[in-house]
Amino acid sequence: MKIYQIVILILASLVLIAISWRSLRRVNHHGFYRCFAWELIIIQVTLQVPLWFLTPLRWNQLISWTLLLASLYLVMAGYYSLSRFGGERKRELQNPNFPFENTSQLVTTGIYTYIRHPLYSSLLFGAWGVFFKSFSRTGGLLVLLSSGFIYLTAKVEEKENIESFGTQYREYMIKSKMFIPFVW
């Protein structure tokens, strides 16, 4: 790893810790697991960045860019739907959620019609998109670990959503997929 990669990794990790510090103190909160998923993705990106544009038209690069574009779409569509249709719930003191996560209404429109976790889908697609840039054992381990943490994040958040929205969320879980429309 080169010096600039180490500097980028350290700075990105410090920013992540700064915005996730409340979540890191609560193991039973979805933000705890999300922070580790993000950290693993940051490590993966930092290691892969020198290889991103070496062979831009190889098959793995084309898959990578497709996954990264899908990731970008999912995060934009998910954030838009949450902020447009979710309403705003008052935050409890020291709530580790980001403001847009504290919805007063269950969002089941837009991208949420098809998947319950478009923002975590975005992370999954992004992590796998980075992995496809250049294959390595380290990259494979990082993408599998980050995928595991993303899955744990979603499962913990689903428990939180059941507590908040009750039967309405349970019914929504039956009608929608977790990460990939019509598949999973």
pLDDT in tens, 52-111: 888 888 999 999 999 999 999 999 999 999 989 988 776 554 566 776 777 889 999 999
Residue 12: Cβ within 10 Å count: 17
Length of the chain: 184
Q: What pLDDT score does 184 carry?
A: 84
Residue 148 domain boundaries: 3-175
Residue 184 within a domain: no
Residue 158 within a domain: yes
pLDDT tens figures, 19-42? 998 889 889 999 999 999 999 999
Residue 163 within a domain: yes
Residue 183 within a domain: no
Phi, psi for 177 (deg, rounded to 5): -95, 165
Q: What pLDDT score does 90 carry?
A: 65
Phi, psi for 38 (deg, rounded to 5): -60, -45
Residue 119 within a domain: yes
Residue 131 within a domain: yes
CA-CA distance, 167 to 58, in Å (whole number)? 48
181 touches 112 (CB < 8 A): no
Count of domains for the chain: 1
Q: Which helix or strand (DSSP H or E) is residue 15 part of?
A: helix 3-24
Q: Report, in this order, helix, strand and coil percent for the chain, each rounded to 5.
A: 70, 0, 30
175 touches 113 (CB < 8 A): no
Residue 116 within a domain: yes
The helix-helix angle for 118-131 and 137-165 (nearest 10°) equals: 180
pLDDT tens figures, 136-145? 999 999 999 9
CA-CA distance, 53 to 133, in Å (whole number)? 9
Cβ neighbours of residue 26 closer than 8 Å, sequence gap 6 or more: 32, 96
